Amino acid sequence: MSTIDLQTLQKRLIELQRINERFAIPNCLEFLAGRSGIPVVEIKNELAEATISLEGGQVMTFRPHDQEHVLWLSSFAPLKKEKSIRGGIPVCWPWFGAHAFDKQKPAHGFARNMLWTVKETKIRDDGATKITLELSDNEDTWSLWPHTFQLQLQIIIGSQLQLELSTYNIEDKNFIVSEALHSYFRISDVNQVKIHGLEYCTYLDKVDNFTNKIQKGTLTINDEVDRIYLGTTADCVIEDYGLKRNIRIAKQKSQSTVVWNPGMEKASELGDLGHRGFRKMVCVETANVAENAITVEPSDRHSLKVVISVEPLSWV
């Protein structure tokens, strides 16, 4: 490790101590050193447990007590900060997928690669734990996206997992954002789950050159799937007989749902999914993308919210 790296790590460990002194909650919430010394929040309360990286404001794990883990996280995630963490719930903002004009800019925007700051931690009356993170414009963001903004992420860890992503426009002209809470869900087998809630929705099929199609019946997955469902506000439910549960994804202020699984061939090219990891995960993303991108007016805000809960299969 170089001297510069040692100095950076030392600074991050000092910052970690400072954050704990200000925001830790005894026997509930603690900040630990993650990859490259970047803080990771560890939450354990009477309802659930979770981990959140301040790198990207990314929820990595969530497990209600007496339940299996709800989110999928690759055990092959790289240790280098330059590479995004595969799994959990990355924040895609202010664009989704490749940048429209400059393919050299990071895919899915910059929010998932930057260090967020902690604004508040608290225990709610219902026993859930709330943490609020924030990202604001700076020299690094201006080189990628020339707007003045404040981005806030409220995360509630309880019997349900709740995320609310709020975009504040603090300049004198409007701007357009595409956004997604890119949720990776842990499942028994991708070929044996059903996804409800998208029946008869129009979608763009990326695998088929973004051809416009209509979902016929319940969605099942047998190969690579990469779809943007448009104009849909409905809950989605992942029915998983193998794990004997439903995962419900309820959303607000979202007009798009993205469903993704790379399939065997594409997964082998990605490198960080692990051996047959693609079979144990599916992404059902709460989003506003493509023609559902959001215009945020000056001095206004837009808030995207998702509530993720686990339900037993009613017929098991």
* Catalytic positions: 182, 285
Q: Hey, is 87 helix, strand or coil?
A: strand
Q: What is the DSSP string of 233-260?
A: ---EEEEETTTTEEEEEEEES--EEEEE
Give the tokens for residue 94: 């202010």
Query: What is the bridge-based pairing of β-strands 193-196 and 211-214?
Result: unpaired
Q: Hey, is 270 helix, strand or coil?
A: helix
Query: What is the bridge-based pairing of β-strands 256-261 and 281-288?
Result: antiparallel
Sheet strands (E) in 34-90: 39-44, 48-53, 58-64
Task: Please check whether residue 214 is in contact with residue 229, taking contact to mean a CB–CB distance below 8 angstroms.
Answer: no
Check residue 38 and report its DSSP letter: -
Residue the block writes with tokens 């930057």: 114
Q: What b-and-e string marks burial along 98-110, b requiring 16 or more CB atoms within 10 Å of the CB? A: ebeeeeeeeebbb
**Residue 131 parent element (H or E):** strand 129-136
